[in-house]
Amino acid sequence: MSNKPTTENGIDRIVEQLTSATHSPRGDFSAEKSFKKLAPYLPRPFYRTILFKALASAAAVALLCLLTWHYVINNPIETITIRTLAETKSIKLPDGTQIKLNRYSSLTFPKSFSDKERVVSLEGEAYFEVSKDAKLPFTVQTQEINVQVLGTHFNVDAYPNSPTTKTTLLEGSVKVYNHQKTVETILKPNECATYSAANGLVCQSLSSEAKNVIAWQENKLIFTEMPVGEIMNELSHTFNTQIKVSNLKLYNYRLSARFEQQETLTEILDLLQSAGYFNYKVEKDFIKIEPKQQ
Amino acid sequence: MDESINKLIHNIQNHDSQSSFRELYNLFYNRLFRIAYYYVRKDEWAQEVVLDFFLTVWQKRKNLNEINEWENYCFISIKNASLNLLEKKKREEQVFTKETFTDVCMDTSSSVTSPEEELLNEELFNLYEQALSELPTKCREVYLAIKEDKQTYAEVAESYHISRKTVDAQVQKATLRLKEKLKKYFQQNK
């Protein structure tokens, strides 16, 4: 580099040389990316954040203590929840009650019953054989209704996505009532109570084939003179698949059928579609049932 | 500029403020990197030097007020650290490969300049860096994108959302300022 450039060109050249003497950080060497290498050496997190975190965790601990205390004082009952997927399960409660839990259902009950009552809650469908104990009423709570009994055999169908809750009695007697206790009915053997959440009414009817209602226990599906809509409702619970019936006439069309070989949903629908004059279509996340095109 | 830097340093020293530290880092990182690169000629090493420097600043933050002229302190620290790193790397190379050792010696001997010339170069370089830092931010960025990264006017215009004419104007302005600064220097030394 010449010592004293006087010409414009000389200075231009020097500027150029200086510019090419170094370069700015780019890519992985940029200020932003490089700081990540520095960050681990800095106290992390920030001082203020530490204080905040300390306060927050202290508050969380205090809250937890309070909740535990509250829980222990008011809710000394430990509960157990049993869930099923594509299988049924037999459950024996501490009082000797036998329960068969249908597919895709869950049952919650206390580890030990209190000395005043026996309460379990159900989502889905289950068959109960309640041990007799006149002093300790047995109550099944569902989303919409409660079923209270002393000692009987009965089935409760209370799948959460179903418009109705159906209680079928096989032996003894049960009282079915909704949470507000505005409707209440007492069932005799072979009777069923269908509660519709939409209008809050209970429909009591004779179930000629009450045994069929609990055929699911042997992995059988038995439909006797049953509307297509209800059949599809039951199938949708058994196979955990949404089934939509598009047509009201079709919904009320009655069918009888028995499936005892653990058939798949496709096999069942293939058989039913010819008897029920409908077509089924498998959509993305549900199955559509439509009247057969003429 | 000095006022705001003093404020940042004050916050780092007295309040352990990491956000102020980050701000200081952002203000100086690019400039210090360019200076370090001038000496070490390798991205990884330049980065190492600059990050080491900032780490020391953070670790010794309680004594920051003892620094009188922050900018001078930065530049001198970076220069010394760069030269130290070069020395260290050269020694490492000597230990590990004797063959390259001779190569390095050859290299340095061939590019060696007289001490005066080296000083002049360094002085000019400092002047250049100072002139760069005195440019408005956008003007400097555009100039560096064109001259260092060899981007086209069209590319720069697009990434900064300005017209090509503006790009040209910014480059002209930057070049002019840089030249003025150098001219003054040469006039003084005449």
Looking at the predicted structure, is the pLDDT value of residue B189 above 80?
no
- Chosen from B19, B41, B43, B119 to mutate, greatest number of chain A CBs within 10 A: B43
pTM, two decimal places: 0.46
A129 or B189, which is more confident: A129
Chain B residues touching A14 at Cβ < 8 A: 124, 182
Of A191-195, B42-46, B101-105, the one with minimum mean pLDDT is B101-105
Looking at the predicted structure, is the pLDDT value of residue A210 above 80?
no
Chain B residues touching A22 at Cβ < 8 A: 34-35, 37-38, 125
Cβ distance A26 to B175 less than 8 Å, yes or no, reads no
Residue A45, preceding peptide bond in cis (omega within 30° of 0): yes
Cβ distance B51 to A47 less than 8 Å, yes or no, reads no
Q: What pLDDT, on the 0 to 100 scale, is given for residue B109? A: 42
Of A73-82, B45-54, B93-102, the one with minimum mean pLDDT is B93-102
Chain A residues touching B30 at Cβ < 8 A: 24-25, 31
Nearest residue of chain B to residue A43 (CA atoms): B18
Look up residue A5 and give its two tokens. Answer: 């450039």
Cβ distance A38 to B124 less than 8 Å, yes or no, reads no
Q: What pLDDT, on the 0 to 100 scale, is given for residue A195? A: 86
* Mean pLDDT over the full length of chain A: 82
Of A108-117, A220-229, B83-92, B117-126, the one with minimum mean pLDDT is B117-126
Name every residue in A having a CB less than 8 A away from some CB of B: 1, 3-6, 8, 11-12, 14-15, 18-19, 21-26, 28-29, 31, 34-35, 37-38, 41-43, 46-47
CB distance B56 to B143 below 8 Å: no
Chain A residues touching B44 at Cβ < 8 A: 29
A19 vs chain B: nearest CA distance in angstroms? 7
pLDDT digits (tens, 9 = 90+) for B5-41: 888 999 999 888 888 999 999 999 999 999 999 999 8
Looking at the predicted structure, is the pLDDT value of residue B50 above 90?
yes
Q: What pLDDT, on the 0 to 100 scale, is given for residue B142? A: 92
Model confidence at B169, pLDDT cuts 50, 70, 90, reads very high
Looking at the predicted structure, is the pLDDT value of residue A1 above 60?
no
pLDDT digits (tens, 9 = 90+) for A131-184: 888 788 889 999 888 888 877 888 888 888 777 888 888 888 888 888 888 888
Q: What pLDDT, on the 0 to 100 scale, is given for residue A185? A: 86
Q: What pLDDT, on the 0 to 100 scale, is given for residue A201? A: 77
pLDDT digits (tens, 9 = 90+) for B107-166: 444 445 555 555 557 888 888 888 898 899 899 999 999 988 888 999 999 988 899 999
A9 vs chain B: nearest CA distance in angstroms? 11
CB distance B45 to B85 below 8 Å: yes
Looking at the predicted structure, is the pLDDT value of residue B167 above 90?
yes
DSSP letters along chain A, please?
--S---SHHHHHHHHHHHHHT-----GGGSHHHHHHHHGGGS-SS-HHHHHHHHHHHHHHHHHHHHHHHHHHHH----EEEEE-SSS-EEEE-TTS-EEEE-TT-EEEEESS--SS-EEEEEEEEEEEEPPP-TTS-EEEE-SSEEEEESS-EEEEEE-TTSSEEEEEEEES-EEEEETT-SSEEEE-TTEEEEEETTTTEEEEEE-TTHHHHTGGGGT-EEEEEEEHHHHHHHHHHHTT-EEEE--HHHHH-EEEEEE-S---HHHHHHHHHHHTTEEEEE-SSEEEEEEPP-
Three-state SS annotation for A205-271: EECCCHHHHCHHHHCCEEEEEEEHHHHHHHHHHHCCCEEEECCHHHHHCEEEEEECCCCCHHHHHHH
Rounded-to-integer distance, Cα A200 and Cα A208, Å: 25
CB neighbourhood size of B74 (10 A)? 20
Looking at the predicted structure, is the pLDDT value of residue A114 above 50?
yes
